[in-house]
């Protein structure tokens, strides 16, 4: 199957814009496309999904292991004409889960996107350095971003050609194509009404050699990819799982929900913003998102807050979902708003981000694992909760992957587990099954 990775020389190179333009162009040609994003990012996957009118999944060797990452790609790309994979940060950033590592794992050619604002022929030196840094990476070509004029792109493309580096086109500076950012990265696709896919496609096709990209994606130098067997559960669970999904709660992995469905669960979406009560279900998942942006609307929906407060079914809450279950939260406007009060915390916004991969050791039994079990996840948030240490209800000892520094976090009490930890059930099927087993037993 054809595949191509859109990598950057650094963050803010324009990877998402380039990947979206390519997906829209390939779809216009009638190709059955599928999209992937390396790393734990929730926001970019939605842009890719919209641009390609296709499914979009995450590839993350920390969250789901190397073998399971390979399995996910094999399983979900099967039957498609081409897979477009957007990298994270710079090509070699991120250690074992770098875009380069994913490229090696998938035997995929790489297109390097370089932000050439305030740069001339030096961009060719950057590209050459990336090509020579790791000969195990098939760096198939270069796309320039933020060029100021045709002459600007010509002098860089000439320097690239002199070094034997394939030039695939250049995108000019264009404020109409810029994707706005906020404190957790790009503004979510659902909120960005100015994201014009058709306009992006036309400008992409007029500037980038899509035919050459297609040829590179099926280059014979790319080795045959070894397929993996699909995970088949040994037991099914007839349960209903309601999942918070609206503008405020968007951070959830489709492959994670697919794993629950594979075990037999029926997934029911609901909206804390717009619905007046919880739907009937055996358990509830409050995923992450931007409750701080929609704090006033969430607080004004008193019937839903009361429904959550009075529910005695199992709750699994991650990050923004935990904030919603707190007594109150401080919105981005600085005001304090009453929330569900299911857990005895207050949440507030901070200027410093907490981000990174975590190893979480369970301090006590909870709805997805047993005391002493080790779970891999990641955190990415600007909010904090008080109190920071919760005594007998503290859920995890968390250790950062990069620094090995540890701290305590999360809340567990009966059928409630809430923390800043994001977990992907794909490749961690035991956690999904533990959750569904508990819902099955709670039904009785």
Phi, psi of 358 (to 5 degrees): -130, 150
**Dist CA 378 CA 227 (whole Å):** 28
Where helices occur in 218-348 by DSSP H, the ranges are 254-262, 295-300, 302-310, 320-325
As beta bridge partners, residue 28 has: none
Task: Give helix 15-28 / helix 43-52 axis angle, nearest 10°.
Answer: 20
Furthest C-alpha separation in the chain: 72
Annotated catalytic, 311? no
Phi-psi region of 254 (alpha: psi -120 to 50; beta: other; left: phi over 0): alpha
Q: Is 356 helix (H, G, I), strand (E, B) or coil?
A: strand
**Angle at which helices 197-207 and 43-52 cross, to 10°:** 80
Q: In 53-145, where does DSSP find H-type helix? A: 61-64, 66-77, 99-106, 122-133
Per annotation, catalytic residue among 20, 54, 287, 319: 319
Neighbours of 137 (CB within 10 A): 22
Q: Which of 418, 373, 411, 371 is nearest to 391 (CA)?
A: 411
C-alpha separations of 52 from 55, 142, 187 in Å: 8, 22, 18
Of 350, 278, 354, residue with least CA distance to 314: 278
Run of H or E residues at 153: helix 150-162
42-46 long-range contacts, CB within 8 A, separation 24+ = 42/250, 42/251, 42/252, 42/253, 42/288, 43/184, 43/185, 43/186, 43/187, 43/188, 43/189, 43/250, 44/16, 44/19, 44/86, 44/185, 44/186, 45/254, 46/188, 46/189, 46/190, 46/250
H or E segment at 218? none
- Identify whether the C-beta of residue 62 lies closer than 8 Å to the C-beta of residue 444: no
Q: Are 157 and 170 in contact (CB under 8 A)?
A: yes
At 312, is the secondary structure helix, strand, or coil? coil
Q: Which residues are catalytic?
A: 319
């Amino acid at each position: 199957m054809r595949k191509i990775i859109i990598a950057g020389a650094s963050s803010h190179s324009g990877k998402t814009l380039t990947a979206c333009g390519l997906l829209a162009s390939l779809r216009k040609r009638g190709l059955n496309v599928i999209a992937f994003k390396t790393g734990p990012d929730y926001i970019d996957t939605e842009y890719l999904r919209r641009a390609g009118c296709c499914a979009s999944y995450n590839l993350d060797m920390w969250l789901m292991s190397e073998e399971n990452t390979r399995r996910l790609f094999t399983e979900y790309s099967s039957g498609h004409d081409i897979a477009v994979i957007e990298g994270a940060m710079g090509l070699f950033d991120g250690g074992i889960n770098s875009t380069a590592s994913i490229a090696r794992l998938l035997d995929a050619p790489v297109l390097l996107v370089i932000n050439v604002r305030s740069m001339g022929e030096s961009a060719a030196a950057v590209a050459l350095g990336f090509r020579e840094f790791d000969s195990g990476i098939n760096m198939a070509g270069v796309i320039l971003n933020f060029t100021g004029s045709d002459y600007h792109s010509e002098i860089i493309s000439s320097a690239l050609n002199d070094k034997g580096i394939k030039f695939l086109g250049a995108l000019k500076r264009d404020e109409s194509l810029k994707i706005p950012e906020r404190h957790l990265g790009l503004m979510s696709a659902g909120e960005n009404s100015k994201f014009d896919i058709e306009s992006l496609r036309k400008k992409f096709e007029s500037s980038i050699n899509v035919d050459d990209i297609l040829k590179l994606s099926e280059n014979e130098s790319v080795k045959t990819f070894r397929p993996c067997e699909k995970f088949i559960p040994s037991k099914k669970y007839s349960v209903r799982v309601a999942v918070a999904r609206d503008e405020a709660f968007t951070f959830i992995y489709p492959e994670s929900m697919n794993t629950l469905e594979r075990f037999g669960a029926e997934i029911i979406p609901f909206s804390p913003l717009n619905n007046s009560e919880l739907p009937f279900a055996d358990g509830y998942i409050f995923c992450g998102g931007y409750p701080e942006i929609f704090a006033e609307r969430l607080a004004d929906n008193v019937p839903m807050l009361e429904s959550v407060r009075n529910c005695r079914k199992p709750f699994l809450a991650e990050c923004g979902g935990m904030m919603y279950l707190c007594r109150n939260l401080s919105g981005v406007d600085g005001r304090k708003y009453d929330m569900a009060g299911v857990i005895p915390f207050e949440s507030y916004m901070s200027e410093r981000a907490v981000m990174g991969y975590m190893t979480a050791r369970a301090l006590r039994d909870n709805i997805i694992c047993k005391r002493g079990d080790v779970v891999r996840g990641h955190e990415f948030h600007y909010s904090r909760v008080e109190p920071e240490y919760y005594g007998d209800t503290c859920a995890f000892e968390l250790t950062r992957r990069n620094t090995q520094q540890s701290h305590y976090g999360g809340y567990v009490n009966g059928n409630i587990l809430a923390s800043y930890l994001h977990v992907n059930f794909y490749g961690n099927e035991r956690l999904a099954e533990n959750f569904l087993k508990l819902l099955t037993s709670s039904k009785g």
